[in-house]
Amino acid sequence: MQVVDAILPARAAFGAVPRPLGFVPTMGALHRGHLELVRAARASCRTVAVSLFVNPLQFGPDEDFARYPRDLAGDCRQLEEAGVDLVFAPERETMYPPGFSTSVDVGEIGARYEGAVRPGHFRGVATVVLKLLNVVRPDALFLGQKDAQQTAVLRRMVRDLDLDVRVEIVPTVREADGLALSSRNAYLSVAQRAAAPTLQRALRELYAALARGDGKENAVRAARGLLDPAATLDYLDVVDADTFEPLDAPRAGAFVVGAARFGQTRLLDNIWLPA
């Protein structure tokens, strides 16, 4: 497994690999969810590349950029074992040298839900992923379903900017009790960890209530009742998978989405309805 940290060597390395090239962008602190993305990439691509980069642009000023978990050596060990061919692990200054000032704005889809709670977040995500795509030039981009709105934002960017890359969404990996894997789960106290699966239970209840014909207001109220009382709900809703506009009722291909805070830790989860 080759690890590169600068743009020109990365371009040379990625330009020379057998195609198709599958690419998994990550912020490191890898867990089984990331390894499932790698597995999906290996299943359809001759070469698999992963990036490890904690992207400052997608963190707000009061967010957890400084304390976000970092473990380059451990991450590389896991990726090598998982059969990854190439790793791109740039320094911050490599991605954002002095004078850097360009950003990608995906419009309304990036301003709802996560974008409303975290202004500028999706601008940061879209910008770094576009830069990574321009360096790696993959044939396929593998994204985790857990960050549902991120998948919609990046599919929007790929379409709008005529990027020649296929986007694959890989199902969320969960703990035995239903908690979606996330690098941020490491922040949870024992009590918060025990309470965290109630987010997924609330999403299931929201879907069930809507599916049996309850109005959205009642359904959200019922769902909210299943969330741990110590958690703070940011939102619970059912949305179009392409636009992230709210829907009155579930339909094929929609996402049921939610976000809640357990102490200082924000967790996201969703249910993706079969298309």
Residues marked active site are found at 34
2 binds its own copies (CB under 8 A): no
* Shortest CB 91 distance to its own copies, Å: 14
93 binds its own copies (CB under 8 A): no
Q: At what angle do helices 198-211 and 216-224 cross, to 10 degrees?
A: 150
* Shortest CB 215 distance to its own copies, Å: 28
220 binds its own copies (CB under 8 A): no
Write out the two tokens for 195: 């309470």
- Of 107, 70, 127, which is closest to residue 242 (Cα–Cα)? 107
**38-44 contacts at long range (C-beta below 8 A, 24 or more positions apart):** 38/79, 38/82, 38/83, 38/84, 38/142, 39/82, 40/142, 40/168, 40/170, 41/140, 41/142, 41/168, 42/82, 42/83, 44/20, 44/140, 44/168
157 binds its own copies (CB under 8 A): yes
134 binds its own copies (CB under 8 A): yes
105 binds its own copies (CB under 8 A): yes
61 binds its own copies (CB under 8 A): no
Q: Are 126 and 161 in contact (CB under 8 A)?
A: no
Give the Cβ contact number of residue 66 at 10 Å: 8
The residues, any chain, with a CB within 8 Å of residue 229's CB and separated by 6 or more, are: none
- Of 159, 168, 148, which is closest to residue 238 (Cα–Cα)? 148
Q: Which of 102, 212, 248, 275 touches its own copies by CB under 8 A? A: 102
**Residue 170: strand pairing partners:** 144
* Shortest CB 199 distance to its own copies, Å: 29
57 binds its own copies (CB under 8 A): no
217 binds its own copies (CB under 8 A): no
- Of the pair 108, 177, the CB lying nearest its own copies is at 108
- Of the pair 133, 203, the CB lying nearest its own copies is at 133
Instruction: Compute φ and ψ for 39, nearest 5 degrees.
Output: -60, -45
Binding segment (CB under 8 A) for its own copies, from list 58-66, 154-162, 193-201, 264-272: 154-162
* Shortest CB 159 distance to its own copies, Å: 8
Q: Are 227 and 260 in contact (CB under 8 A)?
A: yes
243 binds its own copies (CB under 8 A): yes
Q: Which of 130, 148, 169, 181 touches its own copies by CB under 8 A? A: 130
Residues that bind its own copies (CB under 8 A): 7, 11, 99-109, 126, 130-131, 134-135, 156-157, 160-164, 242-243
